[in-house]
Amino acid sequence: MAEQYRTVAREGVHETEINKSRFRCALAPAATEHEAQAFIQRIRREHPTASHNCFAYVIGADGGVQKASDDGEPGGTAGAPMLQMLVRREVRYAVAVVTRYYGGVKLGAGGLIRAYGGVVGAALDALGTVVRQRFRLVTVVTDHQRAGKLENDLRAMGRAVREVRYGEGVTIEIGLPNAEVEAFRAWLADSTAGTARLDIGGEAYGEARGGSSAGGAGGARDGS
């Protein structure tokens, strides 16, 4: 599993005009290939009169699933440059659909490649991306007396507190980078005088601290 990956911050649209043709790039995060395909179909239904609805998506933290479609544009001039832009920016679990309304001026193969790749890069810049880090899920079990201060300390340290449950004791679930688990175990024992229990669970991805960005530098200019 990859230690981290970058994905689209939110669903959104960026539109530009090139030689009288409108290029509208719709971007969205997609957890599965099914979600990506559903998004593509939704955009197609919203733009049934468009000249083309080309798409590309990358699923998996390691980019294991990659698909693209030219949707009637000359082979390799639309879906491929869109996919290349996503991969080049190291974007995962994301889908892009570029809707083109033809304006009457032919762009040629090179112009199409620059247009389709460029509008995806511009959309990534406009909507931003977030970095998701692989975490180990750990559960802290403590008493009610210590729980409030412990939770506050965890949040103040920037720990990813995922859930807090109250019962006979208090259970706090957090995400930790694997490399920090043993150091955290020692800190917890010291902070609670050895009274808290630490249970180690499975792995998941969560947003990394300081992982948001407005997109990679210069991406829109790579394809325009």
Q: What is the pLDDT of residue 204?
A: 79
In the chain, which residues fall in CATH 3.30.70.240?
A: 131-208
* 180 token code pair: 């920090």
Q: What is the pLDDT of residue 75?
A: 96
* 28 token code pair: 């969205």
**Distance, first Cα to last Cα, the chain:** 34
More confident residue, 16 or 215: 16
Q: How many CB atoms lie within 10 A of CB 183?
A: 11
Q: Is domain 131-208 classified as CATH 3.30.70.240?
A: yes
In the chain, which residues fall in CATH 3.30.230.30?
A: 4-127
Q: How confident is the model at residue 224 (pLDDT cuts 50, 70, 90)?
A: very low
Q: What value does the mean pLDDT take over residues 32-60?
A: 97
Q: What is the pLDDT of residue 159?
A: 86
CA-CA-CA-CA torsion sign (138, 144, 145, 148): positive
pLDDT at residue 221 greater than cutoff 70: no
| Structural contact between residues 124 and 25, judged by C-beta atoms closer than 8 angstroms | no
Q: How many CB atoms lie within 10 A of CB 3?
A: 12
Condensed to tens digits (0 to 9), the pLDDT of residues 112-163 reads 999 999 999 999 999 999 988 888 899 999 999 999 999 999 999 988 888 9
Q: What are phi and psi of 101, to 5 degrees?
A: -105, 110
Q: What is the pLDDT of residue 178?
A: 83
- CATH number for the domain formed by residue range(s) 4-127: 3.30.230.30
Strands (E), the chain: 4-8, 12-18, 21-29, 52-59, 65-69, 94-101, 129-142, 160-166, 170-176, 197-213
Q: What is the pLDDT of residue 179?
A: 84
Q: What value does the mean pLDDT take over residues 42-70?
A: 96
Condensed to tens digits (0 to 9), the pLDDT of residues 70-96 reads 999 999 999 999 999 999 999 999 999
Q: What is the pLDDT of residue 208?
A: 66
What is the phi-psi region of residue 196: left when phi exceeds 0, alpha when psi lies from -120 to 50, beta otherwise?
A: beta
The alpha-helical segments, DSSP class H, found in 101-200 are: 108-127, 144-156, 181-191
| Structural contact between residues 64 and 56, judged by C-beta atoms closer than 8 angstroms | no
Q: What does pTM read for this prediction?
A: 0.71
DSSP annotation of 178 reads: G
DSSP annotation of 20 reads: T
